[in-house]
Amino acid sequence: MWSSTGKSLLRCRLAQMQRASFFLAYCFYWDAKKSVLSPLKSDSYQSLNFHGFYVVTTFFVMPVLTMRSVVLLLSVSEDEDKLMVSMTFLGTALIWVIIPHLRMFGRPPEREGFVSCVNTMFVLEEKLKEIIPDLSIHLSGKVASLIRQISRSLNVLYFTMDNIITFGVPFLALSKSSPTYALLLSGYDFESLGCLVSTLTLISTGAMTFFYTRMVLAVISFVINFVTHGVALVAVWTLVLVDSRVEFGFIKSVKIYRCLTIIKNFHVDTCHHLGSVCAHHAFSVVAATTGLYFLLTEYQEIDPLLLGGCGSLVVVSVALEMATITYLAMVGRNSARFLELMRNMNRGDKLRRRIMASLGSNAINLEVISSVETMRNGVGLEYFMNFVTRVTSYTIDLILTKN
């Protein structure tokens, strides 16, 4: 089932976090003997370095980039480097996304709570397998197809983040359109001191930007893996309940469903503590709107880096939001289908009717602001149409405001 795939992806993301910091700043490791995620000791130098990364990002990088973005937004002119402006906005958005993650991972008590949640999900899936020992015989093709589909989508996303985006950053970081270089230049005109000073500054700021971006993307990909793991676990096992080749019986089906409810509650609660995970819709709208705006207004300048970066931003934002909504809607739909089937099958048994009446929907809701409908049944595919409508509407408003 999903646990073997989930553990493999988790170990891959852990290794990427460690490589991104040259094994100097991270907070988790994989215990191969116990096959569980474990937190580093709070007094280890890797953990202390990661806490320093959290402090610097929260109390220095985030305020500086936010103020810089506000200044650029209020004083933007035709002479400004559009690539630098767009990358500054994007960098600020990424920092705001990662701050809640660093707060959880950088503090030992919250870090241990996160580890407990991950390992609990692994343990509960093993309990599910014990309920149905011969499950592999009864699996339908849809279950195996769903596991392959989710795994393939994550591998494509991770390849993009680890290779295409990461190794595309140096081209921007080592140019004068680098947000870090432009920020220093706005404070002091060191280019007047000569070519040597400006070149050394460009190289040093470029290297710093490159390695910092690698760490930020590694943390974000690790969080994406956690969110996907919980959603995939509930989605796969709910599909097993409604699409297996054999009936598991009332008692076993209810046990599995209640276990999935516990997993879902653990997962959603941790996602709420991660903060920005539950604002994925807002961040996707902002990112897609920014990229689409620069694509439509700056296409005549034919800046390859600007067009490529904005185009990639739009594609990634749309793809992530579409995948998120699709899988969340799948969980809600299959959960409602299971409850309906079980109620119809056990309509004549009074005790079973009471048990079914006590079961609620296992729909996963990762939204900050929810309606009664989304709280009960989760999001549907129409939520993606709301995303498209907001992006197009905000982009048109920005273009009309500019003109």
150-198 pLDDT, tens digit per residue, is: 999 999 888 888 887 777 788 888 888 888 998 898 888 888 888 898 8
Q: 17-75 pLDDT, tens per residue?
A: 999 999 999 999 999 888 899 999 988 999 999 999 999 999 999 999 999 999 888 87
Q: What is the predicted pLDDT for the residue at 44?
A: 93
* Residue type at position 126: E
Whether the pLDDT of residue 255 is over 60: the answer is: yes
Q: What is the predicted pLDDT for the residue at 403?
A: 64
Q: With contact defined as beta carbons under 8 Å apart, do 250 and 342 qualify? A: yes
Can you spell out the DSSP letters for 274-294? T-GGGGHHHHHHHHHHHHHHH
Q: Which two tokens stand for residue 203?
A: 């190289």
Q: Which residues pair with 38 in a beta bridge?
A: 29
Whether the pLDDT of residue 298 is over 80: the answer is: no
Q: What is the predicted pLDDT for the residue at 140?
A: 74
Q: With contact defined as beta carbons under 8 Å apart, do 229 and 121 qualify? A: yes
Whether the pLDDT of residue 358 is over 60: the answer is: yes
Q: What is the predicted pLDDT for the residue at 369?
A: 62
Q: With contact defined as beta carbons under 8 Å apart, do 37 and 118 qualify? A: yes
Whether the pLDDT of residue 368 is over 70: the answer is: no
CA 380 centroid distance within chain: 19
pLDDT band at 79 (very low <50, low <70, confident <90, very high): low
Whether the pLDDT of residue 230 is over 80: the answer is: yes
Whether the pLDDT of residue 216 is over 90: the answer is: yes
Q: With contact defined as beta carbons under 8 Å apart, do 28 and 38 qualify? A: yes
- The residue that leads in pLDDT, 19 or 3, is 19
Residues 6+ apart with CB under 8 A from 35: 7, 122
- The residue that leads in pLDDT, 76 or 251, is 251
Angstrom CA distances, 65 to 194, 197, 306, stand at 27, 24, 20
Query: How buried is 29 (Cβ within 10 angstroms: 0-12 exposed, 13-18 middle, 19+ buried)?
Result: middle
CB atoms within 10 A of CB 310: 27
User: Cα-flanking dihedrals φ and ψ of residue 31, to 5°?
Assistant: -85, 100
- The residue that leads in pLDDT, 298 or 110, is 110
Whether the pLDDT of residue 220 is over 60: the answer is: yes
> What average pLDDT does range 275-301 have in this prediction?
82
Q: What is the predicted pLDDT for the residue at 160?
A: 84
Q: What percent of the chain has pLDDT over 90?
A: 38
Q: Which of 41-45, 142-146, 291-295, 364-368 has the lowest mean pLDDT?
A: 364-368
3 state SS of 33 = coil
CB atoms within 10 A of CB 283: 18
In this structure, the chain runs to a length of 403
Q: Are strands 36-39 and 28-31 parallel, antiparallel or unpaired?
A: antiparallel
Q: What is the predicted pLDDT for the residue at 301?
A: 63
Can you spell out the DSSP letters for 69-98? HHHHHHS--TTS-HHHHHHHHHHHHHHHHH
Mean residue pLDDT of the chain comes to 86
- The residue that leads in pLDDT, 46 or 78, is 46
Domain count, the chain: 1
Q: How far apart are CA 270 and CA 273, in angstroms?
A: 5
Q: What is the predicted pLDDT for the residue at 87?
A: 85
Q: What is the predicted pLDDT for the residue at 144?
A: 86
Q: What is the predicted pLDDT for the residue at 65?
A: 94
Q: What is the predicted pLDDT for the residue at 378?
A: 64
- The range of the structural domain enclosing residue 184 comes to 2-402
Whether the pLDDT of residue 245 is over 60: the answer is: no
Nearest residue to 27 (alpha-carbon basis) of 8, 50, 43: 50
Nearest residue to 208 (alpha-carbon basis) of 176, 177, 170: 170
Q: How far apart are CA 118 and CA 106, in angstroms?
A: 17
Angstrom CA distances, 7 to 172, 225, 373, stand at 34, 10, 33
Q: What is the predicted pLDDT for the residue at 152?
A: 92
Whether the pLDDT of residue 125 is over 60: the answer is: yes
Residues 6+ apart with CB under 8 A from 395: 289, 292, 293, 296
Q: What is the predicted pLDDT for the residue at 46?
A: 94
Most confident of 45-49, 128-132, 135-139, 344-348: 45-49
Nearest residue to 331 (alpha-carbon basis) of 234, 188, 256: 234
